[in-house]
Structures are given as structure tokens and as C-alpha cells.
Amino acid sequence: MSFPILTSLVLVPAVGALAVAVASNRRPEWIKLIAVLVSVFTGALAIWTVASFETADPGFQFVSKHPWIQQWGISWHVGVDGISLFMVLLTAILFPLVILGTDPHHDHKRYLAWLLLLEAGMMGSFLSLDLFLFFVFFEIVLVPMYFLIGGWGYDDRVYAATKFFLYTMVGSAFMLVGIIATAVLASSNGVGYVTFDLVEIAEKATFAASTGRWLFFAFALAFAVKVPLFPLHTWLPDAHTQAPTGGSVILAGVMLKLGTYGLLRFGLYLFPEAARWSRPLFLTLAVIGIIYGAIAATMQKDLKRLVAYSSVAHLGFIVLGTFALTTQAITGSVMQMVNHGVSTGALFLLVGMIYERRHTRQIAELGGIQKVAPIFAAAFMVVMLSSIGVPGLNGFVGEYLILIGSFLTARWWTVVAAAGVILAALYLLWAYQRVFHGEPDEHNRTFPELRLKEAAILLPFIGIIVFTGVYPKPMLDRIEPSVKALIAHVSDKTGYEEPAIPEAPQTNEGAQP
Amino acid sequence: MSPDTFTPPAVGWFALSPLLVLLGGGLLLMVLGALLPRWPRGLYAAFTATTAGTALVMSFVLWDDITDKGASTLVGGAIAFDGFAMFATIAICASVILATLVTDDYLRREEMDGPEVYVLYLMTAIGGIVMASAHDLIVLFLGLEVLSLAMYVLAASHRRRISSQESGLKYFVLGGFSSAFFLYGVALLYGGTGSTNFDGIIAAFNGSVLTDRRDALVLAGVALMIVGLSFKIAAVPFQFWTPDVYQGAPTPVTAFLASVGKVAAFGALLRVLVTALPMWRDDWRPAIWVLAVLTVVIGSTLAVVQTNVKRMLAYSSISHAGFILVAVEAAGHTAGETDPGLGVSSALLYLLLYSVLVIGTFAVVTLVGRTGDSDTGLDGMRGLGRSHPALALGMTVLLLAQAGVPLTSGFIAKFGVLQAAIEERSYAIAIIAMVASVIAAFLYLRIMISMWVAEPEAGDDAREQIRVPFSTGLAVALSVGFTLLVGFFPDWLVEASKHATAVVTSTP
Amino acid sequence: MLDLVWLIPALPLLGFLLILVFGRRLGDPKAGYLATAMVGGAFAVTVAVFFDMLSKTAEERAHVATLFQWVPVGSLQVDLAFLADPLSITMCLFVTGIGALIHLYAVGYMHGDPRFSKFFLYLNLFVFSMLMLVLGENLLVTFLGWEGVGTCSYFLISFWHERESAATAGKKAFVTNRVGDWGVMIAMFLAFQAVGTLSYGGINAAAESGALSQTTATAIAMMLFVGACGKSAQLPLYIWLPDAMEGPTPVSALIHAATMVTAGVFLMTRVNPVLAVAAEWAPTLIAIVGVTTALFAATIAVAQTDIKKVLAYSTVSQLGFMFLAVGSGAYVAAIFHMITHAFFKALLFLGSGSVIHGMHHEQDMRRMGALRKLMPVTAITFIIGWLAIAGVPPFSGFWSKDEILLYAFDKSPILYVVGLVTALLTAYYMTRQVIMVFYGKARWHDAHDEHGAHGDFEPHESPKIMLLPLVVLAGLSIVGGAMQLPFSDRLHFLGHWLEPVVEFGEADIYGGWGYQNKYLLLGVAAVIALLGIAASVAVYGKHKAKPVEPAILENAWYYDRGISNFMGGPGRRGFTAVAWFDAHVVDGAVNGVGRLVRGSAGVVRKAQSGYVRQYASAIGVGVVLLLVWFVVIRGIL
Amino acid sequence: MTALLAALPVPTTTWYLVLAALLFTIGAVGVMVRRNPLVMFMCIELMLNAVNLSFVSLAKQLGDIGGQTTVLFVMVVAAAEVVVGLGIVVAVMRRRPNATADDLVELKG
Amino acid sequence: MDLVVFVCAAAMVLVGAVGVIVRNHPVHAALSLVLTLFGVAVLFILQEAEFLAAVQVIVYSGAIVVLFLFVIMLLGVDKAENLQIEPIPVQRPLAVVVGGGLLAMLVTAIVQARDSVPTGVGAGIDLATQTGDSDSNIKQIATDLFGDRVFAFELLSVLLIVAVIGTVVLSRKPDKVGGPQ
């Protein structure tokens, strides 16, 4: 039995949260230190995981499985594959940066404790291979996020937090019923005994078409709310706008991915038939989300809200890729989850910095900042370009893979979705122009330049953005096998055939190396 | 049939030991309390807790006894001696202990210290246990009356608050009203079957000519008995007393009502429906279905607009009752069969977990309510997170548990019930219940907000300082600990609940 | 040697990085020299590669240099690789060459600007992207450069972003280009689906071997053309280019005249086999769009008063010529004209820049005149450029334009005629510009009235560092035609050089009537040019006739304004409607549910009246209902 | 005369049960319409008596003494109920003299 | 003969019952209650439940009603309540509907099941005639009571304890603190 690295990925932050919670309030700097150390250590663990990850192996790795509630056939079953690997890494990297980079202004102790608890929950959700376990984490993360928004958010925080909590809970209500029904029905459809183990059910059970569809929708509803998929998205702008910077970063960076990740891991994997059957619906919703989110974003007056709506559009791409069911598209989706996490997370950090300086997020009240704070503007620009999807930056690779993959199986949806790329440029550049270009008025003339600490926080983001854009291979190599395996699973469950691509002809030019 | 041929029934004294302990303890407390001068502070409570504790231990012993030797009935089939009964006994005794801890300081704070309340607690416990383990409708009715009468008194026991007496009076009138219905139901059933004993009822309808034809008399009896018990479990539309009584009664008593009362009432309901009336399960299951849906939906919905914490929790208890009714409905699919299914066990599990939860919650409310339960409004909670973070945190855990958030006992309870329902393919009711519980979650969120988020207002500091006495704090700590323990490691409890099946009269 | 091709883009990139890090410390003018040196170095490498390639046989001239796998997913295998072949090297030659000159010029032009080093930062990044574009071995690498140059042009157009107009122009350029990029993307997807690769080698091979169906080929070609329209400012997407003049003049010269805008033409040439196997109407459409744009822009140029706007529209017009060439299968001619145009248009822009510099940022030609005495060098070089673009033999413009017309004639006389008219107009408005700027009476003194800011001043000649590039480019504009002389096949240097690339798509006009009588056509062209000049002189020089400058032309046929009005009007309203819908309908539904719950609760709670008797009757109702169910429904029915 | 009387039909159990039902209903209605808590108790007593009546007649019909024993229990319960109930009323009345059930509506909503 | 008695007793019962709910004055209501109770007692005798009849008269009429009257006097709540006015809207109609429905349902059930009530399940009650033992009824009750029903019987004691404690708790003066001396 080797070192239970995944388990510790979950436990370390949890224990850290406990430590922070019990630590004495008189020495805030110690509390902060604990939090930082814990999160950094978690990050190190995650990096270790990635380092020792078997690249070519499509299956789950570092699996550890221990019975938990035998009466219900539930076990602590965690494992990581190419699809979840980078989610874990993203989580582990974002949290230290958030803890270092954001300032709650009051009740640091509680703030940090909640954050660490949130990290543990996130890790758990990405790692768990047991339906019950997944639901536990999926649901538990609501609590810290609820308190983060409610406790450290802005004026309308209570409304936003409550909306967020209840809206998501409605979704998971259906999912819980779905989960139990899945386990119960699976036991009579191939498994033979009641178990909540994802792998066992997915491999052994075969549901009747109609049953599978109902179950799938029970799951999909919860994920659709989380993603969020049009028209279930309206909790997101409120939550994002009202949440404290740290909250928004995590919310956009990691939490939304629970939805898309869930669709992959539990939608496609458990109910391939239903997923295929419902493709048109989801593709359409995704495309609507892309265009609609972009248009709505264009018209926002609140910078943070604008970014929030841009998330709706970006997540639309991810869903599109997920349901396109081709290697390129799904690989792109997985990659885009990470990319969106990085770039949107960075955007929220920057918006937060603007708010710290100007105490407003209203685009109208900003302007001319590039003149007084060029470096700040440059940082914003880079992140923005990655969000627009300019080649050479990470955003492009994912988006491009999604589109080129989707084009094979969902041509016309893709054609429309690609138009979303234009809109992305429109709303972001317009916002950029209004905020950074022009002559600064007297309020903005004193806008402070990027501070060293802030730069230190942003640098990793920009580093990832550029590196991933220029050299995505290491990432793709790890994602692809698992995606292939997933599609193979879909194929032999449903007889689905991934469209064949003609062999690239031998080029007459450049034949010689 | 003459005196010399008279043979008294065998009495399993040992098997009755929990009841006897409680009774003996109660009598002793009453007599000594009356004879001796005032006992030193906290001794009444200590004595009561010890008594209940002893009963608890006894029932643990008996539990093993049952799991070894199997279930049976006692005293001429008057009451059942089975896992079901013991599980309920354990739940009730535990509730009594916790409630006593909460009550101790409260009584002193409200200057009504004395043994009587505790004696009533113990008597109520007896009534509840009898209800949950009755094997004869008359016994069940008597248990019901013992429980009810004690609770009427308890509800009205706060002499300074007219609302306490008002709640007592309302509770009494409606309680008497509904128990009359119940009794009438018993009478009609008696007419239809010729017996009030479960075995008799089962026997009368097996092999006898009546099984193959409908019997309106019996059905009417069933209906009226459901009425009587639905009143006790506060199922819509028989729930109207609940908010008023919960709000009016002294807060610890409310906790006691919500825990012991619910366990006993549901125990009785399950006994009657599942053990005594399995042959009519197709008749009563739809009725329970409707009751469950109404209860869970209306309970959750009305909770949303409340501003008094006790009242909120009253409505939440209604919606919880609805959730348990879902389990009862599930039990209805397999009633009387050798494989009991998950309905009964999940209901019992829910009851146990909920009792602990709700006492903890009301314990906090007791403290925050301040002297004379004067400050039980939502504003009373304001700023608790600042002034008493630990207490607030405990309350938060309990509330989250009530909302059914994972890693708390509340989630385990809900999960069990849902599983039971889904095993029986009652998807609709499961989904309705879940959605309703989301609505209910709103009210827990409101309480949490006012504890943690709400901005302090002028005059907050002028309020009476909240004092956390040891006993109450202990109660909160215990229930929070239990909540989390079960939330993380529920396996043993789940297993136990599966053994907690009622004794089945073998049906040929 | 050919393996060093990666050095060509690497050097500007290095420059970019160096300036990024040390830019501020280097400052004005060192940063500028650094940047220039980098581009110059790239030029040197290119030349070396060029000669190396000359020494090889035609077959060996194509060479792929792979750096690393870029996006390898399943059947999609895209490398970050360069394709060094005659076409790309040709492009590199004039991109780096002219680029270096313009860098040098900019050192002088941007002198004293607070963001001096940043300017060269962008400029180097642009050159890098442009080189990626032309050197890319596959569509994706090209696309990387394609979007890169777009982004850089966005940076540079809105370089003076304090100016509202500059910021807006930059945004406009980016977004409009994105529309084109959309087309390129779709084209890539189609290509991948049809061929399974994105490399030009693969795609062209598929086209030549007939593996590519005509439909797909047409679709790919058309989608690429959409992209080309965006980049190369063709109808209907040209609107961003005139506004792009908000950028500093060197930018206009480098990006919006010489290099970036020609990317579309380059791309179409790159995939000429695809275009060749596409349906017949595809190239025709391209030709028509091209010639229409040419004429359209020329007419507008006639009435412009801003010295740079005239050049901008003339650029659009000349690009139209190039697409006319592409459409007529005259790829060599297209490239030929691209190069010559790069020479003289860069020259003209830099000249205008020098004028503007000398005039203290006055751009209105109506306030100029008689500058030839004050800025002799600028004047002379500008005049050379004028002669070149006007198509006066033997200047370079004449030869390239004529070859295009030759092919156009072969495709369809109508195209030829329209082309001629455009040529006429070109000569006309360019002459008009030269006269307004350098001849006539000095008009800058009576500028007091509104421009009080700069009233009394003497326009002065620009510094040497700015004049040097002018001279060099003037020289090139004169001799540039020698690349491809029509007289005999031996003199088709460029043609032979590019043959391996374009042979499949190149149209064959030998034996056509036009080719037989090419000298006649040559003469016609020359005459037309002179005619245009003469007319212009008559109007603006001798004032024989009133100038014809109708408002509709001055306002570019109201096309641009129409679009802006639409965007600001119905378009914006539509967007607002969506936002409203989201806030009030979608979100309203959500909050509506909440309100519904509260509301119904408010109603139901009224039953909780507190009257115990009412509670009792509620119980009674429950009893009756239950009894009905049990006794009646279950018991009796 | 006696013959006449003998000729009359003998009331069956059903008669008694119907009578009990009537009594029960009257009691129930009473609870709903009366405001004086004491009278409400009396109505509850009526209901209980109705139950007793049914029990007794059913006991006769069934020939099972259990019914009668049950009635005995019910009587005791009734007594106890009344004791407690009156206790509560006394407690209330001490605070709110002459209060009717309708006056006690502090708790509602 | 039985019929006559039954009719008279039924009349007493119903008249008394109606009296309870229509007499404004609580004392009158209590007295009408007595009427009902006596009627029930008569019906008990008619049903061969002599012992119960006795208990009925002694306990109910003797103890309970007296208790009622006593409390009425004690509290002086002998203020007549005006039944003409009904403060709560639709309460009376509702009560009528509910009452009607209830009665209808019950009667339906009873009538529908009139001949399905099993007979002779137990040993029979009418033993006085057989054994000639005049107090057989009491003996029978006793055997039953202390036989299988002994548990229930013991429960009664608990019930009474509760009642006692209850009265103690309730009847203490508000200001007095501590247990009863």
C-alpha cells in the first residue's frame, strides 16, 4: 500500500481548515501562515501527483478504496485519470494564490478556514469515484461558498448567496434521487448488489433506454445548474458579482467545472445512451449559451458582471465539446476547463484589484487607466487576450480543439458557436476600451500601478497562460488517453462510431526532414 | 371461567426493565421531591438523567438479548418486545437525557425549579415507549394518553407566560378531540375484527370469511386511527396545533415535544399500520402518500414566511414529519411481508437522528431566547456569531444537518428515507420531498444569516447577555458531536436500524 | 542553411522579449535601434536562406523545418513547423527588408514619444507574427501569425489610446478581422475533416491528386476568402482600414500598406491548388470582388482631403487589383504587384509621414501646398512613388499592374475595362494629392482661424534617419519592375522563381488574344495613366475645371457610416433587448418562483388563525376526507 | 299489551352504533361551535361516551368481555383528562378571567 | 320492551347532547351532560353491562360532572356565552358540513357493515343467565382486567400519576417557587 496521496489531497486542506478554525485569534499572522503552508503543501502534493502520473495509462491511477458505509454499499473510492488530473492541479494551484492574493478585510480566520474547507471539498469532488462520495463533496462545497459570499461579499450578498445555495440545491435534489435510483436499479440490472461505486456501475450495469434517460436527466439537471447552462444560469452573475474576489476566483475557476466535469464523468460515463440521445438538446443549449452569454456580457455595466456572463459563454464551449463526442472536442473541453479556470480566475483577481483601488466596478466610472497604470493594463490585456482566444495563449488551444472536434459531429452548431469568438472580442475589447483607454478623469488619475505583491500573484497565471498556449503537448498527452477510453466506453455501450478522419496524405513538399 | 381457574399472564420483568426503571425513578423522584426539602441545584436533573441513562443501558442490554433470541410479545401480548421497541426506547431515553440537560438550567432561570417537570418527563417517556412498543390498540391508546396528558401539562407549565398556557389549552382541546377520534377508530376496528390485540386483528382476517370482502367498519376505523396519530405526528391538515404549541411552550419542553413526541407518535403509527393492518396496506398507503406530500410541502412553504425561530422550527418539524411519512409510505409496500424492506428502519433511523438534532437546536434557542423566552424572534439570533462563535457554529452544524447537508446525520437520515422510497419505486414522492426540503433549507439559511451575516443594530448590546451554562452547553455539544459522528460514520447505526424490525405475527 | 529558417522569426521575437524586459531602461532611441537591428538581422538571415535556395534545384526548394508538436490530439497532428519555399522566402524578403527600413524611419518619427520603446515592442512583435504567418507550414501556424498581426495592429492603431478615435479604430480593426478569422477557422475545420491534416503540403497534395472533392474545395476556398477579405480589407469588410490611419504613420506604412494587408493575397496564393479545383464561380467571384473593391475605393480616394486617407483608400484599391489577379489565376502577378505595391505604397506613406512630421501633425491636404521647396527629398521620393503607383512606365507599378490587367483581360474583358478605369482614377487622385501637397500656393499660413494651436511655423525637412528609408524605397520603386518583365519569358524571373508553388493554379494565358497583343495593352495602360495625370493636372494644377468631389464620395458612399449607424442603432437595441430579457424574463422566472412560494405561504398561513375551534374544524375536514377515501372509495366502490 | 311489546323489533347492534355515531358527531360539532373551554371539554366527554357506547354494544355483539373492560379504561382516561384539562383551564383563567377559547389567539400565523 | 327502553334512553342521550352544545350557560350545559350520561348508563344496562352502568353513574355523573360544576363555580366563569353571534366567519357552516359528512360516513360504514360484524368471537357475556351467578359480569371483567389486560391496567396508574403531578404543576401560584411542601 503506497502513500495515499489522493486521500491526503482531500484531508490535508480539511485538517488545515480545522487547525485554522481552532487557532487563536490573537495571532492573525500565524493563522495566515498556517493557511498558506497548508495550501502550498496541497499544491505540492498535486504537482507530485501530476509528476508521477502514468502518461499513457487511460485508467484511474493512485486509486485507494476503503469501505465506508457497507450497509449501503458505499466506499471511500478515490482515483485520478487524465480528465480529473488537471482539475485537481488547477484547484491546488488556484487556492494558494487566492489565499495569498486576496484580503478579506475582516474575520481573516473564518475566511481562511472556509477557503481551506472549500479546497478539500473541491478536491474530493474531482477525485471521488463513488456516486455517494461525489454527491457528498458536490453538496458540501456549497456551504463554504455560501458563507464566503454571504460573509465577505458586497452589498447584495445575502440575496446572491441564498440564491446560489438554493438554486444549486434544487439541482442536487434531483441528482440525489438520481444517484440512489441509479444504484438501486443497477443492482437489478447487471451489478447484482447495491453499490454506489461509479466504476462498477458504469462497467457492469446496462439500463433500459428510457430508464437511463430519466436517470441521466436527474444528473444532468444538477450539472446544468452548476455549469451553468442556459437558461439555468441566472444565479451565476449575482453570485459572481457579490462574492468577494477570492470567492469569485474559486467559483469561476473551479466550482463551475464541477458541472462540466460531472457531465463528462457521470453523464457520459454512466449513461452513454442517454447522453447520445440528448445530444441535440445540449448542443443547442450550449450554443445558445455561447451567443446569448456573449451578447448579455456586452451590455453589462458592471465589470464583474461582464466577466461573469463571459463565463456563461465559455462554459457553453465546454459543454459543446463534451457532447460532440470526439477525441479532439472532449480533450479540448477538459483543457478548456483548466484554461477558463486560469484566465477567468485571473480576470476576477484583476477586477478585484480595480475594486480595491477605486471601490467601484461600474465600467462607466472607470477609464484611461492604461495611461496611469500601463503595467496593470498590460497584465489585464494578456489575460483578456487569452480569454478572447488569441493563438499563442491557452484560451485558443482549448477553444480550437473543441470547435474542430465538434465540427466533425455537430457541424452547424459549431459554425454558429465559432461566431461566438467574434462576440468575445467585441465585448471584452469594448470593455477594455472603456476602462483602460481614453484620458483618465480625476478619480482615475490617481489609479495606483500594479504592486509587486499583486504582480507576484498574477505572474503564475500569465506564465500558465503563455506556456499552455505555446506548448500544450504535456497536458494533451495526459488528457487524451482517458478521453479516448471514455469514447471507447461510449462506443461499446451504444455502438457509437467516432467519425473517421482520412489519413493525412504524404506531402509532396517537405517530404525530406 | 371462575376465579380458581384464573391464571395471570407471564410477565417478563427483565424485558420490561426500561419501563420499570423509568417508572420507579419517576415515583421516587416524585415522592422524595415532595418529602425532602429542596434538593441542591441540578440534582433533580441529575437524578432524572441517571434514571433515563439506566433505562438506556438496560435497553442496550435487551437489544443484544433480542438480536440473540429474537422478538416476542409480553404480558399476554400487550406489548411487543422487539428491535423496533428497543430502538424507540433508546431514542426516547436519549432524548430524555438531552432534554433534561437543557431543562435544568432553564428551570432555574425561569424560577420554576422542582421535580415535577422531570417526573412528567419520565412519565412521558413511559407513555412514548409504550406507544412505540404496543401490541394492543388499547395499550397503545393508554400510552398515547399518558404521553399526551403529560405534554399538555408541560406545555402549559410556564406560569409567567400566558402564551404557554394558551398553547397548553389549545394542545389539550385538540389533543382530546383527536384522541377521541382515535379511540372511536379503535372501537370500529374492534367491531370489525373482534379484538384490539394485533394478533387478534391479524388472526381475525386470516382464514376468516372477512378477508376476501371489504369491510367499511374496519376501514372507517383505520381512517379514524390514522387521524388520531396524524395529529400527534403533526401531519397536514392535522398540524395546526404544532406551531402554536411549539412557540408557546417553554423552549426545553418544545424540544422534548419535538423529539419524544415524534418518536412515540411515529412508532405508534408504524405499529398500527405496518404490524396491525398489513392487510389494508393498499388502502392506507395512498392516504399516507397524500398526507406525506401535503405535510412536507406545506410545512416547508409556511416555514419560509416565519419570523420567530421557535415557530420556524415548528414548521420545519412538520416538514420533517412529512419526510418520515415518505418512509412510512415506503414501508406500506412491504408491510406484513417477511422482508420488511427499508421503510420502517429508515423511519426509525430518521427519528433517532432528528430527535438528537432538534433537541440540540432548541437548546441553543433556549439560551438565545433569554429569560422568559422573550427573545425567540429571528433578531434574537443577530450577532451570535460574534458574541458566541462556538455556540453559533454548533447551531450552524445543527441547522445544516436539518437542511440535509452531507456529512451530517440529517443527510444520512434523508438518504435512508429516499433509498427506502426509491427501492419501492416511489420516485415522485421522493422528488417532491427533496424539492420541498430545498424550500425548507431557506429558513435554516435565514437563521444562519442572522447569526453570522446580519449587521448589528442599535440596542443589540442592551440585550440581556447570553449565558451558556454547563449542562445546556453539554447538551449542545453532545448533539453536535453525535450529528457529526453519524454524519461521518453512519454505518453502525444504519446496521442497527436494519435490525430494528417489528415483531411480525406470522401470516399463514 | 535552410534549417536556419526558424531564425527569421526568432530574431524579432528576441527583440520583443528584450524590449519587454529592458525596454524602459534602453529608452529612446536605443530601443528603436535594437528593434531595427533585430529585423535587419532577420533580413540578413532571409537573404542567406534566399541564396541557399537559389543554389538548389526547383524540387528541393521547398523545405519543412519542424520545431515541435504543437497540438497533437488523436488524428489531429499539428506541428509548429516552418515551410521555407520560394513563396514564403519572397514574402520574408520584403517583410523583413521593408520592415527594417520602416523601423529605422520610426526611430526618427517616434522620437520624443513617451511610449517610444513600447512602440518598438509592438513593432517587433508584429514582424514576428507576420513572419509566422508567411512561414507557417500549416494553416494553424499561419493562423497564429494571422491573429497575431491582427492583435498587433490593434495595439498599434490604438497606440495613442488617449484619443477616443484611435481606441475605437483599433477595436474596430480587431473585431472586423475576427469576422474574417471566423471564415479561416471554418476553412480549417473543413480541411481537417476532408483531408485529415492542416499542413499546406497535405491540403495542396490532396487538391492536386483530386482527393479533395470540388464542393469541399469550393467551401474551403470561399471560407479562406472570407478571411482574406477581412485581413486584406476587401468589400464588404474593408471598413476598418481607413480608420486604421489613426495609428502612427510608420504603422500605416508597415502594416496597412506593405505587409499585413497583403496576407489575404498570400493565403490565397498559398492554397492556389484548392482554388484551382474549386467550382468555376469561386475564382470569378474573387475577381469580381477584387475589381469592385478596386474601383469602389478609387472613387472614394478621389474626394479625400486627409493625406493618409487618400493613401489608405488607394491601398484598398490596389489590394483589389491583387485579388483581381488571384481571381484570374495570375498568382505571380498578384505577388509581383504585392511586392511593388509594398515598395511604393510604403514609400508614399513614409513620405506622407515625413510631411505630417514636417507640418507638425497636420494631415489636411487643404492646408498644405508648395512643400517641394521646403522638403525637397521628401518631395522627390514622393513623386517617384506617385509615378510608380500611377503606372507610368518604366516605374515598377506599371509592370505589375499591367500584368494583372493582362490576365484579367484573358479572364473577361469586362474585368479588364473596370481595371482600366480604376487605373485611370488611381493616376487621377494620386496626381491630385501630389499637387495639393507639393505644388500650388502655400496654404498653411491661413491656418490661424481654427488651428490657432499651430499657426505660424515653417514646415521643415525631416531628419536623415527618416529620409534614408525614403531614398531606398524610391530606388526600389523605380527598378522593382525588373523582377518580371513582360518582354520575354526569360525575363519572368519572379515567375520562374515561384513556379513550383503556383504552377498548379496558375492560369495559362499564352495563346490568348490578350497575350498575343500584349504590347498593345501595355500601350493602352500607359496612355490611360498619362490621361489620368493630365486630367488631374488640368483640374488641380491649371484650374481649368472645377474639381469633382461630391459629398457621397467624400463620405465613402456612406457605407461605413451606414454600418456604424446600424451597430449603434438596431444592433445595439437588439443587444439591450437580450440583456433585458435575461434580467427580467429568465431571472424574473427564478425570482418569480421565490415570490410564488412566499405568496402562497402568505395565503395559506391565514388558515393558522390561532382560533382553536378553527383548528378543530380543519381536523374535522381532514377526518371527513379520509373517511371518504376509506369508506366510500376503498370500501364501497 | 305484553304481546304488543314483544312484537316490537329488538334494537340490533347497528341501532346502538348509529346512535353512538350521532352522539359522537354532536360532540364533534360542539367542539367546533362552542367557545367556552369547559363546554368544549364536555363535548369531548360526549364523544368519549359515544365511543363507550359503541364498545359496549360491540362487546355484546361479539360476546367478548374485552369491550367492556376497554370502556372501564376509557372512563378512567376521561376522568384523568378532565382533571388535567380543568387544571389548565384554571391556570389560564387565573390569568385571563372569563377568557373564551376565541380570546386566546396570541399565537398564530 | 327493549325497543321502548332504547328509544327513551336514546332520546335522553340525544336531548342531553344537543343541550350541551346549545345551552348558553355552562351550568346548563353541564346538567344536560348529566342527562346524556344517564341515558348512556341505561343503554349500558340494556347491553348487559351492569357494572359499567354503575361505574358510569358513579364516576361520570358523580365525579366528573361535579368537577365541572365545581370549577365553573370556582372560576365564576358562569357567564353565559352568546351563541347567537359567531365571531369566526364560515365556522358554523363548516361545522355543519363537517358534522354532516362525519355522520354520513360513519352511518354508511356502520350500515354497510351491519351483518359483517362477527359474532361469538369471545366466550360470550350473557353468563348471568347460564351460571346463575348474578355478578358474573363483574367477575368476567375482573378476570379480563387482571388477565391479559393487566399491563393496560397498570398503565392507568401511570396515567393517574401524570394527572396528579399535572394538577400540582398547574395549580401552583405563579410566584411560588420550588416543589410542593
Give the DSSP H/E element, type plus range, for residue C158. Answer: none
Q: What is the pLDDT at residue E180?
A: 38
Between chain D and chain A, are at least 3 CB pairs below 8 A?
no
| pLDDT per position as a tens digit, B416-430 | 999 999 999 999 999
Cell of C340: 511593388
Q: Identify which of C177, C203, C174, C206 has the alpha carbon closest to the alpha carbon of residue C188.
A: C203
3-class state of residue A73 by DSSP: coil
**Cβ pair B319, B299 in contact under 8 A:** yes
Residue the block writes with cell 520602416: C102
C-alpha cell at B55: 433505562
pLDDT band, very low/low/confident/very high, at A485 (cuts 50, 70, 90): very high
Segment A2-8 shows an average pLDDT of 88
B504 pLDDT band, cuts 50/70/90, is low
C597 in reach of chain E (CB within 8 A): no
pLDDT of residue C1: 66
Q: Strand, coil or helix: what is C222? A: helix
pLDDT exceeds 80 at position B207: no
Whether E101 and chain C come into contact, CB under 8 Å, resolves to yes
Mean pLDDT of chain B: 90
**Main-chain dihedrals φ then ψ at residue B81, nearest 5 degrees:** -120, 85
Asked whether the beta carbons of A269 and A332 are under 8 A apart, the reply is no
Give the percent of chain B with pLDDT over 90: 67
Contact status, residue B360 vs residue B98, Cβ threshold 8 Å: yes
ω into residue D97 within 30 of 0, thus cis?
no
Is residue C171 less than 8 Å (CB to CB) from chain A?
A: yes
pLDDT tens sequence across A75-84: 999 999 999 9
pLDDT in tens, B57-80: 999 999 988 888 888 888 888 899
pLDDT at A512: 39
A260: CB partners within 8 A, 6+ apart: A223, A227, A315, A318, A319, A322, A333, A337
Q: Coil, strand, or helix at residue A176?
A: helix
Q: Say if CB C120 and CB C106 are below 8 A apart.
A: yes
**What pLDDT is recorded for position B291?**
96
What's the mean pLDDT in B256-277? 94
Mean pLDDT of A135-143: 94
Cβ <8 Å between B138 and D70: yes
Q: Are A356 and A102 in contact (CB under 8 A)?
A: no
Average pLDDT, chain E: 84
Q: What pLDDT is recorded for position C452?
A: 46
Query: How far is Cα E106 from Cα D25, in angstroms, rounded to an integer?
Result: 9
> Quick check: helix, strand or coil at residue B462?
coil
Check whether B214 has a pLDDT greater than 80.
no
What confidence tier does A441 reach under pLDDT thresholds 50, 70, 90? confident
What is the pLDDT averaged over residues A450-474?
A: 93
Is-contact A320 A386, C-beta < 8 A? Answer: no
In terms of CA atoms, which chain B residue is nearest residue D93? B165
pLDDT band at E129 (very low <50, low <70, confident <90, very high): low
Kindly tell me if the per-residue pLDDT of A448 is higher than 60: yes
State the smallest CA–CA distance between residue C122 and chain A in angstroms.
12
Contacts D72 to E, Cβ<8 Å: 52, 55, 141, 145
pLDDT at B508: 34
Would you call B143 and E155 a contact, using CB atoms and an 8 Å cutoff? Answer: yes
Tens digits of residue pLDDT in B368-393? 988 888 888 888 888 888 889 999 99
- Banded model confidence at residue D99, pLDDT cuts 50, 70, 90: confident
pLDDT at A271: 93
Nearest to C601 among B216, B227, B305 (CB): B305
What average pLDDT does this structure show over B304-315? 92
Three-state DSSP class for residue B136: strand
What's the pLDDT band for B506 if we cut at 50, 70, 90? very low
| A468 Cβ contact partners less than 8 Å away, ≥ 6 residues apart | A335, A338, A339, A342, A393, A394, A397, A475
Task: Enter the C-alpha cell of residue A153.
Answer: 461579499
Please give the Cα distance from E124 to E136 (Å, whole number): 11
Query: C5, C73, C175: best mutation site toward chain A, by most A Cβ within 10 Å?
Result: C73
- Helix, strand and coil in chain C, % to nearest 5: 80, 5, 20
Question: Per-residue pLDDT for B488 more than 50?
Answer: yes
B484-488, C153-157, C546-550, D67-71: least confident range: C546-550
ipTM: 0.92
pLDDT band at E141 (very low <50, low <70, confident <90, very high): confident
Helices (H), C158-280: 164-195, 200-208, 214-231, 240-243, 249-253, 263-270, 272-277
Mean pLDDT (chain A) is 91
Q: Please identify which residue in the block is written with the cell numbers 378532565.
A: D82
Which residue in C597, C615, C630 is closest to B240 by CB distance?
C615
Q: Which of D43, D62, D79 sits opposite E121 (nearest CB)?
A: D62
C-alpha cell at A434: 472603456
CA distance C157 to C172: 10
Q: Which residues of chain C have pLDDT under 70?
A: 1, 446-457
Least confident residue range of A495-504, B260-269, C15-24: A495-504
Would you call D102 an interface residue with chain B, using a CB distance cutoff of 8 Å? no
| % of chain A exceeding 70 in pLDDT | 98
Distance in angstroms (rounded) separating the CA atoms of residues A329 and A318: 9
Which residues from chain E sit within 8 angstroms of residue D49, using beta carbons?
Answer: 36-37, 40, 60
CB-CB neighbors (< 8 A) of B400 in chain A: 143
Average pLDDT, integer, range E103-126: 81
Which residue in chain A is spatially nearest to B446 when comparing CA positions? A162
Q: Determine whether the interchain pair B123/E147 forms a contact, defined as Cβ–Cβ distance below 8 Å.
A: no
- Choose between E85 and B17: higher pLDDT: B17
With b for 16 or more beta-carbon neighbours within 10 A and e for fewer, the C72-110 pattern comes to bbbbbbbbbbbbbbbbbbbbbbbbbbbbbbbbbbbbbbb
Higher pLDDT pick, A417 / B159: A417
Q: Is C598 on the interface with D (CB under 8 A)?
A: no
Q: Quick check: helix, strand or coil at residue B374?
A: coil
